[in-house]
Amino acid sequence: MQPEIRINEGGPGTLTESGTTNAAPNVWSTQLASIRPSEWVLILFFLYTAVLSSLHGMPPTRLLAAFAAPAILVALAWAADASPRRAVEIARDWAPAPLVLLAYWQMDWFASTHTMRALEIRWNEWDRVLLDAWSMRAVIESQGRLIPSILELAYSLLYTIPPLSIAALYIYRRRRMVDRLLLPYLLSTLLVYALLPLAPSASPRLEFPGLDLPTIDTVFRRFNLWVLSWGDIRTGVFPSGHVSTAFSCALGMRYALPERPWVSRVLLIMALLITVATVYGRYHYAVDGAASIVISFTALGISRRICRD
């Protein structure tokens, strides 16, 4: 018995005049399209760490951790696509914050013996030009504890900048622009993290202990040193994650919330203070911050092309 032949009306699975059936809609492509550009950045980064973990012969638990993060992001994206509830969308907005911290700590898996001693000596000489020959340290310490405290406080507040930036978009009812903030922030910050294993260097305060340190101590510096003592990694300091996070959030906020320019200006001032603090406090070399600033502007340019209306 011959199959019934019907004229194709566009429905999936119907028989065409030639006897073939239409292909069902590509469910996978639809679901992949629901993933935000910023989420793709995180997914690709964690796949990168999974590949590195495999190449370094890491235990299965670390491979599982590397794959767990993108699985969470994909699950959130698909859940939002299947049932667009506000709670799921809000979870997607805030999920990158803890995942970026996980991404940073993952880089400690790939810590190795520092092999950039010659470069570090050169970088430290350049910093001495800034600090001493150009009187940067003298200017900072000219008012006693005031300016060093401001710099160290700004360095401490770095960890609050990404969540406060997202909160600002909520306050001004621009939550739909969150991805315009997250994309340059994640692209810049995670690119910096990805480069750390490729340039194994040590913080100047550790590589040159006792040299060129601030002569004024503050409670904020002691707090920063305490945080770094338990939460920092040994993989490298080039480029600077602090500077990258600060500048990418400032630039991203200018793109996501242009009608409130004061927000991005405050963040830009914070980014400049943090950059100076990294050099003055000997947390980073000046070249670490310079490289991160270039990466942040590059990430913004790429993000604007991706998110073009």
Domain extent, residue 288, equals 114-309
The predicted structure's pLDDT at residue 199 = 86
pLDDT exceeds 50 at position 165:
yes
81 lies in a domain?
no
The predicted structure's pLDDT at residue 103 = 92
The predicted structure's pLDDT at residue 67 = 84
Domains in the chain: how many in total?
Answer: 1
pLDDT exceeds 70 at position 260:
yes
CATH number, domain containing residue 181: 1.20.144
DSSP states of 196-245 = GGGS----HHHHSTTSS--SS--HHHHHHHHHHHHH--SS--SS-HHHHH
Q: Which of 5-14, 42-51, 80-89, 102-111 has the lowest mean pLDDT?
A: 5-14
Confidence of residue 7 (pLDDT cuts 50, 70, 90): very low
User: What would the mean pLDDT of 205-217 be, rounded to a whole number?
Assistant: 93
**pLDDT tens per residue across span 129-155:** 999 999 999 999 999 999 999 999 999
100 lies in a domain?
no
Confidence of residue 4 (pLDDT cuts 50, 70, 90): very low
13 lies in a domain?
no
pLDDT exceeds 70 at position 207:
yes
44 lies in a domain?
no
4 lies in a domain?
no
199 lies in a domain?
yes
164 lies in a domain?
yes
pLDDT exceeds 80 at position 8:
no
19 versus 234: the higher-pLDDT residue is 234
Q: Where are the alpha helices (DSSP H) in the chain?
A: 27-33, 37-55, 60-82, 86-94, 96-106, 117-128, 136-140, 146-157, 161-171, 178-195, 204-207, 219-231, 241-256, 261-280, 286-306
Evaluate whether 80 touches 34 at the Cβ level (below 8 Å): yes
The predicted structure's pLDDT at residue 11 = 46
Distance CA 292, CA 286 (A): 10
The predicted structure's pLDDT at residue 30 = 61
170 lies in a domain?
yes
